[in-house]
Structure 1
């Protein structure tokens, strides 16, 4: 059954790519995090609506600012409940601070994280650090997939 969610133009393919990656992991619980830009919030909201429409369970939905003193509170909220998977919609500058803070929780794993196209930038591993990006994967705007492997962004079909 294909789910129709009210999306901005062009988000269909990207959202479908994220949903495909999440579905492949068969998670029981997904927590969703996003930066506070309108685009990031829209993507997170679209994912939550679509995932719940197909019977998926979403725990926490957490936002964070692009700049903060520590990102401790949103990081703790995002790992709460020990979800099986995380979905992230953010800009690289926001992930630069949030990613390392999530690593410091000892709970979060980039290999259990699916992200939207806005994080599919070649310099993300250098910007946020390999510990906050290695194994992270996501969907490009065209629905194709990407992965951070060996410190590099790798695009796939």
Structure 2
């Protein structure tokens, strides 16, 4: 049986998409290969720009096991490395697991300059709780994708547990929690 691919599930474009962001004056350019939506490329470019603004050199990318997320992770990792950075780890986690301990331990052990997280909200919340309980992971060194950049999603873990966490919305807007900068969603 062939896999189902519907335009309602994923927007496909015919030609490669290039997005250039230049808010900081130094520019970040990312290109998709024609399979991603412009939104995926835009979101990835915004995350790269935000990570560069934090002077990161290494990133670890964590994501839920969702087919659409894998495309975004690929665009982000390729774009990050094209900008001279190093993606030291790409780690997936399940939506449902007994504890997420193995994935959380491995994700935190990468000890990058920044962790970047993608995925469906429930699996992310469970993974994040395990990171908080069992590892030296630091939310202030973490960026979230647009799917996780929603107050209701952050409330699954508790805002008081996520001081300093930041991210981008699906349209590329930035936000940060805590540190006197407030919650900008």
Q: Quick check: TM above 0.5?
A: yes
* Aligned mates of 2:37, 2:143 — CA distance in 1: 20
More helix by share: 1
Partner of 1:149: 178
Matched-pair contact (CA < 8 Å) for 2:105–2:135: no
Using the TM superposition, name which of 138-147 and 55-64 deviates more. 138-147
Q: Is there any run of 5+ residues in structure 1 with no aligned partner, and where?
A: none
Q: Is there any run of 5+ residues in structure 2 with no aligned partner, and where?
A: 1-27
Larger RCO (alpha carbons 8 Å, 6+ apart):
1
Tell me how far 1:84 sits from its aligned partner. 1.2
Tell me how far 1:132 sits from its aligned partner. 4.6
Other structure's SS at 1:83 match: coil
* Aligned mates of 1:123, 1:143 — CA distance in 2: 19
1:54 aligns with 2:83: yes
Other structure's SS at 1:96 match: helix
Aligned length: 154
> 2, 7, 18: which one pairs with 2:47?
18
Other structure's SS at 1:61 match: strand
* Aligned mates of 1:3, 1:43 — CA distance in 2: 12
- RMSD across aligned C-alpha pairs, in angstroms? 2.0
Query: Could you report, residue by residue, the CA deviation over 1:8-64 in whole angstroms, capped at 9, with x for unpaired residues?
Result: 232222112111111011123211100011122222121111101111111111000
Matched-pair contact (CA < 8 Å) for 1:99–1:132: no
Matched-pair contact (CA < 8 Å) for 1:110–1:131: no
1:3 aligns with 2:56: no
Using the TM superposition, name which of 5-14 and 58-67 deviates more. 5-14
